[in-house]
Structure 1
Amino acid sequence: MEEESTKFMFHFDRHFPINDVGEIGQRLAASDALIPGWIPPAVGPFDIRAVAVDQQLHGWSTTILPDRNIVSRMARVAREGIVSKRDHPMNIAILLMAFAQAVDFEIEPGLAFHELAQRETNRAAQEELCWFRTADKGGMAQSWIDLAVGRCSGIALGDAAPVENIDLSTPIRRWCRNYVAALKIAELELLPIRPLEKLMALLNWMTHEFFLASPALFFAARYWAPSLRRAGLVKHIRAPNRDRALAGARNAAWDITYLSEFVRRIAIGLSNEQRVILATGDRLLAEVAPILLLGPEAQEGRPSVEEVMRVWWSDSSASRFCAAFFDAVQFAERNDVDDHTIAERVSNLTIKGEESLRMWLPKRQS
């Protein structure tokens, strides 16, 4: 049977900078900083033709979930006007804002400002949010495009938007749960056992004492991968100052929360025709995110979970873990989690986990 092919013809306004937007889309695709939450067409998710088909033919909208690395630089461009240093996150921030404004993608920065409020103050988060609103205001697509393609080194966006009277410092439930998982990862990291034993212990703990938190589990799987670079995933766990260790666990919890929010929004988006893209300036986080979209079997050009795990771990370790993981998935599907029970469990496990991390002492050098 011959495959059917469909041809589309789209008309763009003659003033639309299609060549510039096409170049920006290619650079974003090559950056590996953006993870689409769906299986994109062969031309890629940032090809202007793919965007036009999604929006005009299928009626899909697209939301970008950026991390702090990206959001803070978008706000900085608006505040300072001049871009003096273009590191990896800054390049992504500029390209992404230009592309989003050109093709009408929405940027949802909420998590990033909750993170900033926790790290610093609610006031600091509110002030940076004002500058982000200025960066994200409509009608400035061409200015961002000119900045993105190098026609200029600065951009004039005006004053900061009015302050929004919202409390961004209140802990969010998703982060609180991921903090418990991060504390457990830190506790296991400090045990004198092999990496695979740590990973299997984490899976067993989630199955029987917590709940199956796949983003945290695969974050840990990448962290403990024996032969891969892991610097930066969980910081200061062995610091003599145990407050720094707790700060490292909190930081890891935010990374995991971006992953879990990405997965949550993908599930919600299926029912309201909304695409989701995770944007991160953290190269290791960008490695973890795609595995959360995979299943036990390869499909539609995507590998299976085990195939990716075999890149991170040995074949035997990957097989052992994946068999246990998918058994745990079936167990979780048969056993619903009571939100009231979880809330109490999270509170108790947080106290226990923090105490465990505080009590650890580095071995003295002989």
Structure 2
Amino acid sequence: MIAVWKEWAGEKLNESEWLSLLDLAQRESAEEDALVRGDLPVPPPPVSGHPRVTPPPPAPRHKVPDTPPPRPSTELDDRFGPWLARQLRRSGLTQSDLAMELGLTRAAVSAWVTGRAEPRSEVRRQVAKVLGGVQQFAPLERWKTGAAVLIGVSEYTHLPSVPSIKNNLSALTEVALTGLGIPHSNVHTVENPTSAAQVHEKIDLAMEAADPVSGGLFIYYAGHGWTDPRNGRLLLGLVESNQHKTWTAMEFDRLREQIADSPVGSRLLVLDSCYSGAALDTLSAGLSSASRIEGTYVMTSSNATNASRAPQGDHFTTFSGEIIRSLTDGIQGGPRVIDTDTLFRHVRASCEEQGWPVPSRQIGRDGDRVELMSNRWGQP
């Protein structure tokens, strides 16, 4: 079945071709089941006195057949329910999800799965399109075994509040769950932390949950940032932080050390704060040398000497908003799969074009090749 979807991925099929594709998929699925059981489907007796005609083998898969293959035989039609159940499991959809996509009740889909009913031809075609779309935009394996920690500080006791950061956090949580496809239990959202310990504890949980070989680690922070006047090190604001009392902030160096100790090989760190580029100098020795497999990619909303933008009344902060739109709407003219460097280059170009602070980056051993998610440009 998977081979069938891969064969026709991206093709524009007409009505009869979609239906033929679904019928072919059902036949293949039934044949696979028969091989596993060690037997073959038993044909039903002739209908209306006419001898049963065995369908010819499927047409070669290198192109769409000129004429649709014969309708599947009765015993294969009866297997629509088990076939649909398998495809729902493979795609990660529930019966309720499919029902919602089709504009039907869950009871209708349940009846198909259990074999109590079968959809009409036009509904089968809609089922094929839904499942085909899920296959096209399925999460990458890396993030199915990955984890994320999303930190946002929008309210402060001694510093100006930044309401748009709350929206950043909500949107990126949705991207992590439905775009990257990270399991819900592995996505940790830390809103308005009052202590650095709250952040470090969640990062520990994420590092333990992510598979060190196949998984990825995504760390995001948005909030006020400033540099320590004594050494130029980056400080990240917490709810009760005071710029005149450095000990009230979260030291980025401690965050860097924790991430550098992670066994997870593919890591993306995004910092949306003023002077966030100050983090890059301290990252060189730690993160680059500690990177494993595909490495680490760091994006910052500004360089070490510039403030970042969070205009009053905007829904998102400027830098995070560009990231969110690039991932949710896609990148025009971009590759089929957006990787870390494609995302950064697009965001940087957009910021430069509009005269906003120019983001910075740092790459640790092939970190620019870490794939994130399918490019959704032009898709509904």
Fold shared, TM-score > 0.5 on shorter chain: no
Decide which structure has greater helix share: 1
Decide which structure has greater strand share: 2
| TM-score under structure 2 length normalisation | 0.25
| TM-score under structure 1 length normalisation | 0.26
Larger radius of gyration: 2
The structure, 1 or 2, with the larger RCO (C-alpha pairs under 8 Å, 6+ apart) is 1
